[in-house]
Each structure stands twice: as structure tokens, then as C-alpha cells.
């Protein structure tokens, strides 16, 4: 194993990479020669060969055929499979005015298919053409959309070939996910420091690898690494054709991967999309803001209204008839007492505990360090071999691209920090299917980019016969289907990270950092991390990472120390040397992230329900898993490691680290929420509360419902009214939920009830008449404009009026609350623009109290009736719209439909960048109907 890779944060890593200076290279003549070689072959390369081109070997003799599937599948993965932009492709794209299709094959061939609600055949592909043979026993085909179809004679060859395909299509994206900081300048240092604080050492990664549960899992990791590196060797041998243009832009070369890189990338993804919590200080800030505006009792009542834990009437994925799964032994009254004590302690916490090196709050160091301008201008690094070729390619890039290096660096850094989860899923049992077989839909919502975060693939061999999606660099099919079963994933949103507040000091004898636990001072586990970075000029990174900052990284037994503050009066640390408070974060999944890899690989090999369920029991992350199979079984699990907390813990606030609030192990798998073949005949989840009696912090899980006011009801309503659903119906449901204003289901009937008011004005009556004929769709382009075909459209008067009324309703009910609290709670996720948020839930509880078991603790109506408030909101909305559009003619009230950015990782400096109409849909979708 290579020793030249240092541990990097939360899963990212840094290696000693080869870099090129601004002045090194072969010059313009060399660039012209290189581009002359590069452009012609790329234009004539068969689409099925991707970036491999000339590496195709002799035909496999036609022996590779997929096994029969007992299902039909449709998929779509926008904008396209490939994320490879060569320098030649960049020139072609810019020459075509930024047309995404001009940048290369399979870059953009699924974008319009997706946005116009189309799908491609998703069953196992029939191999055609001549495969590539990247390793003995491994064969790589491509389907008509460029999706890799891998056949292999053994597991090593299988995952070697998958790694090869990963690197062909997504090499730069893999570095951006797993090893970003080394590519950019000082602006990446705060994120790198944060990752060092929260991450693991090389020795810890090696231990994780040794703990993989099956030798097959180690074979998968090692094979994937070997395949990635084999393609990197091809890139370095011929950068003119094979080097992604992003590297040329940044004057850098890809470095070989190690198995630590694969594990670190996995840790990062798990931390980004499948864990939640650790941000309790935001709740503390909201409580303090409320108590500055209201008396203590009133402030705490409002806080509990906004950030509740449990509603007995909440919509859940597991039907109540299938069981309840409590995660707290306390009654509502007992939880209230715990809340009061936790709130008392929270109010006294220094606000500086919110931010520190472990949260990314670290100063950006000097851009140029101690290097002289002459050194920077002259360049650092390689000037011959591959390095000289890359310098020539850098010089051959369009001037506009070279001028955008700083923008590209900022965009890549922002993309790396934006990884997150979301998603919807639903499964239908045979009793509701037209064919008498099960159905399943998967829609992971991870945003859009060129390329997307997910990577579609199909693998056959060594016990694997599956197709689906993964994150490039991770040797699994995370979401997908096999010959007779299918599955989906959504973010669980249960709180699995807790902050602990520690009293700390410096040991007066040894000088070591210590923390107080159970009355004794204990040494923290500390190490020194050196974070290197590339110097930059005007935001442009130059040369090798010769500058660095040194950071002390410490842990208590709870976890990494992320922030600190001086000791307040009365603290046990007051008066101690270096006395203060520290906030550490405890991860339920700490050190066990890669066991999820073992679990997924197990269900990739599964052919029965029991085999799949055993894999689910192995995963440590908190991702909802939905399942369906050819036998007609449907099932749901809310799995992973979930801590059994001390009864005196309130999920919403930091926990004292004194020793009286310790976790008591992890909840057994069979006590986590789950359901198999429920009597209602379907299971649906849209980041929904998993089950009755399961407590969640609404600040951690903003999609948590109160009563039945949650986006999953858009799915439930469309399934529960049908008994003969087909594959075509699944597509219709996916379309309907993607364009729906989720708030309309519950709030629209309340508005329409105002038609009974005897003294409506003409404008009020006209607005309500508009809403009578509205189907609740947020996306209503003008007549003749196809849904999804192009951005820049407007929505009709009805959705425009409705959205304005909702905004006015918030003002009527919550306008007196502190702006910071309302702004925090009423945040609009860009993936869910027309969604139901906690303020919408609270509004519904105020207007129709019986929809929830929670009664508002504050008089938000201010002495008015619900109808009076709704009418005031309608009047305010009409006034606001007339002012905004400068007309009282409602036909002219058409808001611009929101857009989603679809840009390359460099923000369009390399690769395409455009906008598309907003749709609340998965960024990779598969529909499966068993036969």
C-alpha cells in the first residue's frame, strides 16, 4: 500500500500530486500539434467506446448474454452518462456556442428526455460490438446511452473493469468528490481543515479495510482501485486525447488512487447524504433570539411549536397497523421536563461554540505565502513528458476558459461542499397492480450537474447481475435492480450525530489538552495535521502545494472537537490553565462507515428476500431502503446505527459531556422501523417520518410532517385510489408529483372555503374562481409550451396567486417572530421549491388544530378567527400582486417559473452550463414492474 497519502477530512484525501506552473510547457506550437492529434480521433470514435477509443480489443465471440429478468425497467439519468471533456471537446463546445451535445458523446443525451418526462429502456442490455478488455477476464461494453455494461470471469476482473469505466467517464469528478483540495488554492483550506478534524488517519482507514466483512468486499475495493489506476496510466501516456480538460485548466495531473481513497470517498458520501445532526447550536441561536423577543415561557412555547419532536397524527412510511417503533421511553410530559432543563443549559452556552475549525470556520491563508512573484510567474513543477503536454493543452484552451480559472476553482470547491441527500421512493404490492405483480419507483434527488453525482452501470459476473446507479469511485450498485428484485434509497434524516459540551483545560504538568469526564480530567487524543495548498495569484492556483498551515486536531471519547470558547463563570474549567468549553460531535457511525459497502455488495448478490434483508441488517448508514421482488414482496427498512440516548437528553440541544448523558449502545436492528407487505398494499417515503412514536428534530429533518401535511401524501393519494396500477401509471405519478405545489393539497381547500363569505370583493371572488379550476400544479407554462422543453417560461395566474397567498399567510401568522427564526425555519430547499416546511406545518396546525396532536402554545391568530386570517392573507396577496405586475388584470399575473442550474463542476468554465425548468424529481430515476 502506498504511504504517500495523508488522511483527509470526512472522507476526502490529499496526495502528493504533480503540478504544473504557468510558464512550464511546450508552447503554442506544441499545443497545436497535440490538438491536431486529439481532435480527429475523438470525432470519429464510436459512441460505445467512450474515451477508451483505440484500446478496444478483439471481439469476445458473442458469448456474453445477460440472464433473463422477471421485470421491466425504465430509467433516466440526466444530463448524460459521460463527464469527460477533452480539450478538443471543450473547443468544439465553445465553437458550437455552448451546445452541451458538442462537448462529447453521451454528455447531454438524457437531459431533454428527462425534462420532458421521458425514459429509456432500463432492462439488462444485450452486448453488441467489440468490447474493451481492460484486464484479463474483464469485458466492457457500452449501451446506446454510453452506460457501461461489464462482464467478467471473476470478481477482481469485474470491479477492475468497473473502476476503468469510472475513470474513463468521471475521473475529474472522482477527484472533486474524494481529493479536491490538492487541485485548488488557499480557498479550499478551511474545508480541508474541517475534513481533517472530522476524518480519519491512514491507520484508521487501513483498519476499516481489514474490517470489511467479506473477502469479496476487499476484492471489490482492490479491483476498483487497480482499474482506476490502469486508466490513469493511459491518461498519462496520452494526455492529449485522454486528459480531462479540467486538469489542463488547473495545470495538474491525476495521481494514482489507493484503497484509502475509495474508503475515504465512501466516508464522505455517507457523511454527506446518510447522516444528520450535530448542528444543535442553530437551535440554541433560535431559542436565544425568541427569548430576546418574548418572555421565557412564551419563547419556549414558540420554539416547541416550530421545532417539535413527536406528533401522534404524523403521516409515516410504516403504517400504524404494521407496528410502532419508539426511540424514547418518555411520555410527552416527561419530555417537556427534559426540554426545560436542556433549554436552561442551552441558554448559557457561548455562541462561539457554533463555529470552529471542525465546521469550516477557519481563516483562508495567504494566497502566495512566502513565494516571490518571480517564482510564481516562472512556474513550478513538471516541464517535460506528460507535464509538458498538459502545459501545452493548458495553453491551447480557449482564452475565455483560461481566464476563468479562478471561477472554476470556486465552482469546484462549492460543488464539493454541496453534496447532500433527499429523494422519494414507493412500492406497490400485487393487490394494487394491474398485472398482479409488484411495482417500484426510485427517485434520488441529488441535484443536477454535468455530470451528475450518480453514475449508471450494469455488471455481470462473480455472482453479480445488477443494474443501477452508484457514486463514481465506489464499487457497488447502490440503487438498482437485478434479475428478480429491485430497491431504492432515500435519506433517513434521523439524528445520528450529537454535540457534547466538554469542560476543557491544558494539563498544568504535561501541557496536554484535557477534558472533564465523570469528575476526572482526561487527556484528549490530539495529533498535528499539516494542510498543504497551492499558492495562487488572483484566484488562479499555480505550481505545487508548497504552502501549508499546521492544525492541532483533537478528540474526546465522544468524538472530534469542532469548536471551543472561553470558560464562562461557574464552569468547572473556569480558573483552570487554558480553561474553556469545547464542542465535540459524536457519530453513531464512527469508524464503521465502510460496513455499509459490505451490506450493499451483499444485496447486490442477493436473489431472495432473506439474502437482501441480511444485507440491509449490515449497513451502518441511515438511508431508507425500499424493496420489491418477483414474488410480490414489498418491504421497507429505516436501518443503520442509531444511538440509544440517555432519557434526560433532548435531541434539539447540545448534550452535557460530564458523564451523565452517555449513549447506551445502539438500537437493535429489529427495533428500527420496518414493514413487510403491509395490508394497505403500498409503501411510500419522501424523507418521511419512518413510523409512529419515532422522535425526530424538525430542525434536522425539515421534511418531517405534523399531521398529514407532508409531501409524501402526493404519492399516497395517487396510489391509494387505484387498484390496477401499471408501469405507465408509475410514470404518470412521477410526472404529477414533480410539478405539484405540495402545499395546495391541504391549504387550497381552506382558501376555497372563503367563497362562502358574503362580502367578498370582486377581486377576491375572481381570485378564488381561478383557484377553483386549478389542479395544484406549480408548473403551468403558457399554452403551446411543452413541459420541460426550455427554461424562461412563466406559470399561470392560479399558481401565482396561490404562492402569494401562502407567503402572505406566513406574514399574517408569523410576521411578529424574529426574522432570523422565521428565515431559518422557512428555508426553501432548491430541490423542493414548492414544498411543505415547518412553518407551513405550523400554519396548518393553527388554522385546523384537529389535523395534529400538537396544539400551538402561542396565539398566532392574535385574536382573529382562522377565516379572518386567511382572508387577510388573500387581500394582502392581491395587493402585492397588483403592485408587482402593475395591473389588476389577473391574466397578466404570471410568475417566472423557477429554474434549476445544470452546470459542469467548474461552473461552465470547462463543459456546459445552462438552466432548465424546476421539477421536483429524482436526478436518477428507475421504474420497475415485475412480470
Q: Does 620 score more than 90 pLDDT?
A: yes
Interior angle at CA 529, CA 506 and CA 564, nearest 5: 40
- State yes or no: pLDDT of 641 exceeds 80: yes
pLDDT, tens digit (0-9, with 9 covering 90-100), for 780-795:
888 878 887 777 789 9
Question: pLDDT band at 796, cuts 50/70/90?
Answer: very high
Predicted confidence (pLDDT) per residue in 881-921, tens digit: 999 999 999 999 999 999 999 999 999 999 999 999 999 99
Q: Are the CB atoms for 10 and 199 separated by under 8 Å? A: yes
Residue partners of 631: CB distance under 8 A and separation at least 6: 484, 609
pLDDT at 35 over 60: no
Name beta bridge partners: 666: 643
pLDDT tens per residue, range 207-218: 999 988 678 999
CA dihedral 222, 228, 229, 231 (to 10 degrees): 150
Cell of 822: 422565521
Give the DSSP H/E element, type plus range, for residue 144.
none
Per-residue model confidence (pLDDT) at position 415 = 73
Alpha carbon 900 to its chain's center:
15
Mean pLDDT computed over 421-436 = 93
pLDDT at 414: 76
CA–CA separation, 465 and 461 (whole Å): 7
Closest alpha carbon to 389 in 240, 183, 233, 542: 240
Mean pLDDT for 410-427 is: 78
Q: In the beta sheet, which residues pair with residue 263?
A: none
Q: Confidence band (pLDDT; 50, 70, 90) for 426?
A: very high
Closest residue by Cα to residue 125 from 181, 171, 66: 66
pLDDT at 58 over 80: no
Q: What is the rounded average pLDDT of the residues 650-661?
A: 96
In this predicted model, what pLDDT tens digit does every residue of 459-516 receive, in sequence order?
Answer: 999 999 999 999 999 999 999 999 999 999 999 999 999 999 999 999 999 999 999 9
Across 4-22, average pLDDT: 41
Confidence of residue 49 (pLDDT cuts 50, 70, 90): very low
Residue 770 clears pLDDT 80, i.e. is over it: yes
Give the rounded distance of the alpha carbon of 754 from its chain centre.
41
Q: Binning pLDDT at 50, 70 and 90, where does residue 3 land?
A: very low
Mean pLDDT across 355-368:
89
pLDDT confidence of residue 18: 53
Asked if residues 448 and 79 have their Cβ atoms less than 8 Å apart, the reply is yes
Residue range 393-410: average pLDDT?
A: 69
What pLDDT was estimated at residue 179?
Answer: 53
Q: Rounded to an integer, what distance in angstroms lies between the CA atom of residue 451 and that of residue 107?
A: 7
Crossing angle for the helix pair 189-198 and 405-417, to the nearest 10 degrees = 20
Residue range 127-131: mean pLDDT, rounded: 94
pLDDT at 56: 32
pLDDT score, position 12: 41
Amino acid at each position: 500500500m502506498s504511504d504517500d497519502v495523508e488522511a483527509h477530512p470526512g472522507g476526502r484525501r490529499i496526495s502528493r500530486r504533480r503540478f504544473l506552473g504557468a510558464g512550464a510547457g511546450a508552447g503554442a506550437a506544441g499545443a497545436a500539434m497535440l490538438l491536431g492529434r486529439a481532435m480527429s480521433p475523438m470525432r470519429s470514435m464510436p459512441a460505445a467506446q467512450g474515451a477508451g477509443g483505440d484500446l478496444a480489443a478483439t471481439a469476445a465471440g458473442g458469448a456474453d448474454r445477460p440472464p433473463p429478468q422477471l421485470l421491466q425497467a425504465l430509467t433516466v439519468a440526466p444530463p448524460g452518462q459521460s463527464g469527460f471533456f477533452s480539450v478538443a471537446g471543450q473547443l468544439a463546445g465553445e465553437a458550437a456556442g455552448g451546445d452541451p451535445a458538442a462537448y462529447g458523446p453521451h454528455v447531454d443525451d438524457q437531459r431533454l428526455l428527462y425534462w420532458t418526462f421521458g425514459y429509456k429502456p432500463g432492462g439488462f442490455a444485450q452486448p453488441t460490438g467489440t468490447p474493451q478488455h481492460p484486464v484479463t477476464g474483464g469485458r466492457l461494453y457500452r449501451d446506446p446511452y454510453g452506460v457501461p455494461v461489464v462482464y467478467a470471469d471473476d470478481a477482481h476482473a469485474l470491479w477492475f473493469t468497473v473502476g476503468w469505466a469510472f475513470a474513463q467517464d468521471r475521473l475529474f469528478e472522482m477527484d472533486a468528490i474524494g481529493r479536491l483540495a490538492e487541485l485548488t488554492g488557499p480557498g479550499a483550506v478551511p474545508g480541508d481543515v474541517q475534513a481533517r478534524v472530522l476524518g480519519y488517519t491512514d491507520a484508521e482507514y487501513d483498519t476499516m479495510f481489514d474490517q470489511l466483512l467479506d473477502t469479496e468486499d476487499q476484492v471489490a475495493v482492490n479491483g476498483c482501485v487497480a482499474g482506476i489506476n490502469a486508466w490513469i496510466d493511459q491518461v498519462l501516456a496520452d494526455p492529449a486525447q485522454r486528459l480531462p480538460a479540467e486538469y489542463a485548466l488547473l495545470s495538474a495531473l491525476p495521481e494514482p488512487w489507493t484503497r484509502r481513497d475509495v474508503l475515504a470517498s465512501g466516508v464522505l458520501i455517507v457523511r454527506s447524504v446518510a447522516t444528520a445532526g450535530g448542528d444543535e447550536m442553530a437551535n440554541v441561536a433560535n431559542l436565544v433570539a425568541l427569548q430576546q423577543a418574548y418572555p421565557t415561557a412564551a419563547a419556549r412555547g414558540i420554539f416547541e411549536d416550530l421545532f417539535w419532536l413527536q406528533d401522534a397524527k404524523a403521516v409515516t412510511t410504516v403504517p400504524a397497523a404494521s407496528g410502532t417503533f419508539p426511540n424514547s421511553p418518555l411520555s410527552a410530559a416527561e419530555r417537556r421536563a427534559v426540554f426545560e432543563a436542556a433549554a436552561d443549559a442551552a441558554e448559557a452556552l457561548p455562541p462561539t461554540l457554533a463555529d470552529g475549525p471542525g465546521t469550516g470556520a477557519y481563516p483562508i491563508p495567504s494566497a502566495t505565502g512566502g513565494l516571490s512573484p518571480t517564482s510564481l510567474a516562472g512556474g513550478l513543477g513538471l516541464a517535460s513528458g506528460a507535464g509538458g503536454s498538459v502545459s501545452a493543452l493548458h495553453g491551447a484552451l480557449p482564452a475565455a476558459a483560461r481566464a476563468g480559472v479562478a471561477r472554476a476553482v470556486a465552482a469546484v470547491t462549492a460543488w464539493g461542499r454541496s453534496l447532500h441527500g433527499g429523494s422519494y421512493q414507493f412500492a406497490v404490492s400485487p393487490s394494487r397492480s394491474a398485472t398482479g405483480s409488484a411495482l417500484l419507483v426510485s427517485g434520488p434527488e441529488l441535484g443536477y450537474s454535468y455530470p451528475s453525482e450518480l453514475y449508471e452501470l450494469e455488471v455481470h459476473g462473480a455472482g453479480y447481475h445488477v443494474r443501477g446507479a452508484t457514486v463514481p469511485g465506489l464499487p457497488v450498485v447502490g440503487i438498482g435492480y437485478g434479475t428478480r428484485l429491485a430497491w431504492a434509497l432515500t435519506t433517513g434524516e434521523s439524528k445520528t450525530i450529537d454535540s457534547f459540551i466538554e469542560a476543557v483545560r491544558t494539563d498544568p504538568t504535561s501541557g496536554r489538552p484535557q477534558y472533564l469526564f465523570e469528575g476526572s480530567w482526561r487527556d484528549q487524543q490530539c495529533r498535528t495535521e499539516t494542510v498543504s495548498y497551492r499558492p495562487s495569484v488572483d484566484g488562479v492556483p499555480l505550481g505545487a502545494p508548497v504552502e501549508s498551515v499546521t492544525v492541532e486536531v483533537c478528540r474526546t471519547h465522544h468524538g472530534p472537537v469542532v469548536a471551543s470558547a472561553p470558560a464562562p463563570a461557574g464552569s468547572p474549567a473556569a480558573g483552570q490553565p487554558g480553561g474553556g468549553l469545547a464542542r465535540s460531535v459524536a457519530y453513531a457511525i464512527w469508524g464503521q462507515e465502510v460496513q455499509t459497502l459490505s451490506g450493499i455488495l451483499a444485496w447486490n448478490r442477493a436473489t431472495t428476500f432473506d439474502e437482501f434483508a441480511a444485507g440491509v441488517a449490515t449497513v451502518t448508514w441511515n438511508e431508507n431502503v425500499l424493496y420489491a421482488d418477483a414474488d410480490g414482496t414489498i418491504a421497507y427498512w429505516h436501518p443503520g446505527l442509531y444511538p440509544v440516548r440517555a432519557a434526560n437528553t433532548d435531541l434539539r440541544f447540545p448534550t452535557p459531556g460530564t458523564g451523565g448523558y452517555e449513549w447506551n449502545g445502539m438500537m437493535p436492528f429489529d427495533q428500527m422501523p420496518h414493514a413487510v407487505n403491509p395490508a394497505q398494499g403500498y409503501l411510500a417515503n419522501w424523507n418521511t417520518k419512518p413510523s409512529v412514536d419515532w422522535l425526530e428534530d424538525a430542525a434536522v429533518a425539515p421534511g418531517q410532517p405534523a399531521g398529514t401535511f407532508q409531501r409524501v401524501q402526493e404519492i399516497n393519494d395517487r396510489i391509494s385510489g387505484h387498484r390496477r396500477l401499471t408501469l405507465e401509471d408509475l410514470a404518470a405519478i412521477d410526472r404529477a408529483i414533480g410539478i405539484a405545489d405540495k402545499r395546495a393539497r391541504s391549504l387550497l381547500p381552506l382558501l376555497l372555503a372563503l367563497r362562502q363569505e358574503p362580502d367578498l370583493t370582486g377581486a377576491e371572488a375572481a381570485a378564488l374562481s381561478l383557484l377553483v379550476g386549478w389542479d395544484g400544479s406549480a408548473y403551468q407554462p403558457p399554452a403551446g409550451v411543452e413541459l420541460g422543453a426550455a427554461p424562461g417560461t412563466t406559470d399561470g395566474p392560479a399558481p401565482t396567486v396561490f404562492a402569494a397567498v401562502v407567503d402572505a399567510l406566513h406574514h399574517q401568522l408569523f410576521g411578529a417572530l424574529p426574522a432570523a427564526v422565521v428565515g431559518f425555519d422557512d428555508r426553501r430547499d432548491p430541490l423542493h421549491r414548492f414544498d411543505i416546511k415547518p412553518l407551513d406545518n405550523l400554519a396548518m396546525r393553527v388554522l385546523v388544530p384537529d389535523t395534529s396532536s400538537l396544539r400551538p402554545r402561542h396565539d398566532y391568530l392574535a385574536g382573529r378567527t382562522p377565516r379572518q386570517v386567511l382572508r387577510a392573507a388573500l387581500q394582502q396577496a392581491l395587493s402585492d400582486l397588483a403592485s408587482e405586475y402593475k395591473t389588476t388584470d389577473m391574466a397578466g399575473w404570471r410568475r417566472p417559473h423557477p429554474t434549476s442550474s445544470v452546470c459542469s463542476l467548474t461552473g461552465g468554465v470547462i463543459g456546459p452550463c445552462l438552466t432548465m425548468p424546476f421539477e421536483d424529481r429524482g436526478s436518477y430515476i428507475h421504474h420497475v414492474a415485475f412480470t
